[in-house]
């Protein structure tokens, strides 16, 4: 029962984030194909760090941190759910606080000097994330199916009756 609840809550959070992203994307004007990314399309480093320190940014950061923590064996071996939640909350809070401190105490001249490198890094991260999402969703998730005389056969698996 608790697992079902967690799955429902996680699914709801993912759905809300996806809807927010889709609404943001639909609100953007459509450019003709082949137009390169312009400088104004990548948020500045201070904007990004400010977003990470905001409630919406922490929601996304927390989701990413939870996914990353689940891949570490030491975290998976923890049996207490409250401890797992506490670790995820602590890591999210610490990263958000670091983002806030960086925006407040680092001089603007430093951020201005990093701007071109930030644009390259952000574009690379988004490109790799997009490619991995495409691969996971469509290439890796696709199962070749052969239809033979009222049976569906998943290639490499057992026949299933139609």
- pLDDT score at 160: 54
* Mean pLDDT score, 89-95: 95
Q: How far apart are CA 94 and CA 117, in angstroms?
A: 24
Task: Specify whether the CB–CB gap between 146 and 155 falls below 8 A.
Answer: yes
Whether pLDDT at 154 is above 80: no
pLDDT at 126: 77
The DSSP code for 72 is S
Query: Tokens standing for 139?
Result: 């290439």
């Amino acid at each position: 029962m608790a697992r079902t609840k967690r799955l429902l809550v996680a699914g709801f959070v993912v759905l809300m984030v996806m809807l927010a992203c889709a609404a943001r994307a639909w609100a953007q004007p459509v450019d003709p194909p082949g137009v390169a990314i312009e400088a104004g399309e990548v948020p500045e480093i201070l904007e990004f760090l400010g977003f990470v320190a905001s409630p919406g940014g922490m929601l996304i950061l927390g989701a990413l941190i939870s996914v990353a923590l689940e891949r570490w064996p030491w975290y998976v071996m923890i049996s207490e759910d409250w401890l797992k939640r506490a670790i995820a909350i602590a890591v999210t809070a610490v990263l958000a606080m670091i983002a806030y401190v960086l925006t407040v105490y680092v001089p603007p001249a430093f951020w201005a000097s990093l701007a071109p490198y930030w644009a390259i890094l952000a574009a690379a991260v988004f490109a790799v994330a997009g490619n991995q999402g495409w691969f996971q969703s469509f290439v890796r998730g696709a199962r070749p199916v052969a239809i033979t005389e009222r049976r569906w056969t998943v290639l490499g698996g057992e026949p299933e009756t139609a």
